[in-house]
Amino acid sequence: MLIPTAVTAFLDHAADEAGLSPATIDAYRRDLDRFSNWCRKHGVEEIETLTPADVRSFAASEHRRGLNPRSVQRRLSGLRRFFRYLRRERVLSGDPSQGVRAPKVRRKLPEVLDIDQVLALLDIPEEDELATRDRAMLELFYASGLRVSELAGLTWDRLDLSEGLVRVLGKGRRERVVPVGRHAVSALERWRGIHAGTAGIDQPRVFTSLKGRPLGVRAIQKRVAYWSQRQGLDQTVHPHQLRHSFASHILESSGDLRAVQELLGHANLTTTQIYTHLDFQHLAKVYDETHPRAKKGK
Edge-to-edge strands of the sheet including 175-179? 159-160, 165-169, 175-179
Q: What are the pLDDT digits (tens) for 226-283?
A: 999 999 998 889 888 888 888 777 766 565 556 666 666 655 555 445 555 544 454 4
Within a 13 Å sphere around the CA of 284, how many CA atoms are in the beta-carbon half?
A: 6
Please identify every residue annotated as catalytic.
Answer: 147, 171, 240, 243, 266, 275
- CATH 1.10.443.10: does it fit domain 115-289? yes
Given a cut of 70, whether residue 25 has pLDDT beyond it is: yes
Pairing, β 159-160 against β 165-169: antiparallel
Given a cut of 50, whether residue 217 has pLDDT beyond it is: yes
Structural domain spans, the chain: 3-88, 115-289
Average pLDDT over residues 73-77: 86
One-letter amino acid at 11 equals L
Contact in structure between 243 and 264 (CB atoms under 8 Å): yes
Q: What are the pLDDT digits (tens) for 205-214?
A: 999 999 899 9
CA 256, CA 144: separation in Å to the nearest integer? 16
pTM of the predicted model, to two decimals?
Answer: 0.55
Given a cut of 90, whether residue 77 has pLDDT beyond it is: no
Q: What are the pLDDT digits (tens) for 166-197?
A: 888 877 777 888 888 899 999 999 999 999 88
Can you name the CATH fold of 3-88? DNA polymerase; domain 1 (1.10.150)
Given a cut of 80, whether residue 102 has pLDDT beyond it is: no
pLDDT of residue 32: 92
Average pLDDT, the chain: 82
Contact in structure between 199 and 96 (CB atoms under 8 Å): no
